[in-house]
Structure 1
Amino acid sequence: MSDQKKARIEAILFATNGLTAEEIARKTGLQNRETESLLEELELEHLDSKRGIHIIKDGDIWKMSVKPEMTPEVRDLLPPELPSGLTRTLAVIAAKKPIRQSLLIKIRGNKAYAHVKKLLKKGFIVSEKRGNTQIIDLTEKFFNYFQVKEDQLKEELDKLKG
């Protein structure tokens, strides 16, 4: 019975870009605690297997994704996680980090408000209120996603500045 429940959860994760454990519980009709337990079991099973995919928890979101070591095999087949507008906004944040949200809006325009929301939700940035403004900075996910270390990023940006 547990295998059947896990199979249902895997199918849900495969068909979506990820959901919270509570959302998965609602879709499967399982209790939250049981769903969380099954997700953790699936995470371990995929981690220990020779499969090209794994199940991970990214913030509150559980998702199925390609294992990092398999990414080069499928990179050209994957849809971009970040549309070009988000990427441009993220580039400004990376270049000026940490950056006041007001300066980011001045550089990128009002659309950057929506970009910040999406980038926060995806976990690429953090935002901290300081006085009357928001200070935006990069997260570890940014550095992992772009496969760059923070000091390397700074060096490359310094080279571009001349």
Structure 2
Amino acid sequence: MTSPSLTTRLEAILYLKGRPVSVGELAELSQVDRNEVEEALIALTTSYAQRESALEIVHQNGRFGLQLRAGLGDLVKDLLPVNLSTATLRTLATIALKKRILQSDLVELRGSGAYDHIKELLAQEFIERRRQHDGRSYWISLTEKFHRTFSVLPDLGATDLAEAA
């Protein structure tokens, strides 16, 4: 089996690094000299520019990176890892454990910072909030997006379990 071409190796390095990499580091990692790396980067950049790829090679401040082409962010935003603080994740975990909880009870459990967590979770559409019938507080529950993002199945009732079996 022949070894992969230099452009293929550079593409793999850029993909796996997940951050911009200098020509010197690319040369060291691919075990070739800087001139060869520069020539291969030109070929790789040209190759990506000529095809309709979702990815592109970018060059900034003497470093090269492999990134999603501009304009595709909206298409894949639901696939990106969730960026929540530890405190917000703990609030979300509390909601997930309870399945449905009054906002006032959640604030009692998690503290007044839970109000900010709730705003963030609502903005990211992981939870939904409905006013309680007597109007004093809100019921908070998980959304379909939460279940999809975290690969958690919604609770199935007894009849749903029988149908699923």
Superposition TM-score tier, normalisation by shorter sequence: 0.3 to 0.5
Q: TM-score, normalised by structure 2?
A: 0.47
- Bigger fraction of residues in helix: 1
Which is higher, the Rg of structure 1 or of structure 2?
2
What TM-score do the two structures reach when normalised by structure 1? 0.48
